[in-house]
């Protein structure tokens, strides 16, 4: 009997404070929505990092004949310099860092370049001789790019070393910030919902 009385009085109190009740429901819904979005976004970022970092490579570009870079002041990389870089890749020093690697020849680089820019003016003026020989290196742990890059940077015949992960990192930074902002809003809304619920209960009582 007492339980039924409490329930009926609570229901009457809620109907008397209908605006407050609706506010509590809406704020609770929105706060839970933000919590769910934040959790899903964090999970998605983790999945994307795993998928994309597994595909990224470190590219070591040898000096092409047309390079104006300071590192290529001596001209195009010689076969001896290319062989020296390949020997370093296969050395015991980098064995624990490098998973696999491949060499892209001038002909392959030219074919890939023409696929991308063949219809443009720069594509029509390009020749195979202008293309660099390059090494595409897949790392065991992409986060340790700097250790590998230091081994090639400044070597004779090497024009530049590029890590594809550096291109992706700003995207992940932005996504992480959005995720944390969403989580912060969810926490504020959850606190607001708790305060509204307690106020509504007191008013209903």
What local confidence, expressed as pLDDT, does residue 120 receive?
80
Domain residue spans in the chain? 2-51+169-204, 57-163
User: DSSP letters along 19-85, please?
Assistant: HHHHHHHHHHHHHHHHHHHHHHHHHHHHHHHHHHHHH--EEEEEPPTT---GGGTT-SPPHHHHHHH
What local confidence, expressed as pLDDT, does residue 39 receive?
75
Q: pLDDT 10s digit of each residue in the chain, 205 long?
A: 566 656 666 566 556 666 666 767 777 777 777 777 777 777 777 776 666 666 677 889 999 988 888 889 888 999 999 999 999 999 998 988 898 999 999 999 898 888 888 778 877 888 888 899 999 998 888 777 888 888 888 888 999 988 766 666 677 677 777 777 777 777 777 777 777 677 766 665 5
Which pTM does this prediction carry?
0.60
Query: What is 57-163's CATH topology?
Result: Alpha-Beta Plaits (3.30.70)
């Amino acid at each position: 009997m007492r339980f039924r009385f409490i329930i009926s009085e609570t229901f009457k109190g809620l109907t008397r404070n209908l605006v407050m009740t609706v506010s509590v429901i809406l704020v609770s819904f929105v706060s839970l929505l933000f919590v769910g979005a934040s959790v899903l976004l964090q999970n998605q970022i983790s999945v994307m990092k795993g998928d994309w970092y597994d595909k990224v490579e470190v590219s070591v570009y040898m000096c092409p004949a047309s390079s104006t870079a300071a590192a290529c002041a001596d001209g195009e990389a010689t076969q001896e310099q290319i062989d020296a870089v390949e020997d370093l890749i296969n050395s015991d020093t980098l064995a624990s860092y490098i998973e696999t690697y491949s060499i892209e020849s001038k002909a392959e680089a030219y074919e890939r370049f023409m696929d991308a820019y063949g219809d443009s003016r720069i594509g029509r003026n390009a020749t195979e001789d202008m293309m660099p020989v390059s090494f595409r290196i897949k790392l065991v742990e992409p986060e340790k790019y700097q250790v590998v890059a230091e081994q090639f940077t400044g070597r004779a015949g090497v024009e530049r070393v590029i890590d594809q992960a550096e291109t992706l990192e700003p995207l992940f930074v932005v996504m992480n910030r959005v995720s944390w902002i969403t989580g912060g809003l969810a926490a504020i809304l959850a606190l607001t919902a708790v305060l509204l619920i307690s106020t509504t209960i007191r008013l209903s009582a």
